[in-house]
Amino acid sequence: METSKNGVVGVRGRGVSDAAYQGHLKKMSVDPKASRLGKPSEVGSLVAFLLSEDSTFINGESITCAGGVGSSRYC
């Protein structure tokens, strides 16, 4: 893993996944852009990308993996 001189890194931001909301699924109206809750493996794919050589130009970003929740009317 490559780090910058001042320690600035990319992070995975908070998102919506079925693992995080198991107890709330029946109460929650699921209407994100993806029309479903995310899977832990999908969040893991983002983390794997951020740790890979393919992400070397991404720096100082917080990337939310939430299937569109948090955009448009969800902000």
- The per-residue pLDDT of the chain, averaged, comes to 69
pLDDT at residue 38, as a whole number: 80
Q: In Å, how far from its chain's centre is CA 22?
A: 17
Low-confidence winner among 4-8, 42-46, 50-54 (lowest mean pLDDT):
4-8
pLDDT at residue 57, as a whole number: 86
H/E element holding 46? helix 40-51
CA dist 61 to 21, 25, 26, 37, Å?
25, 29, 33, 23
pTM of the model: 0.53
Distance CA 7, CA 2 (A): 10
pLDDT at residue 20, as a whole number: 55
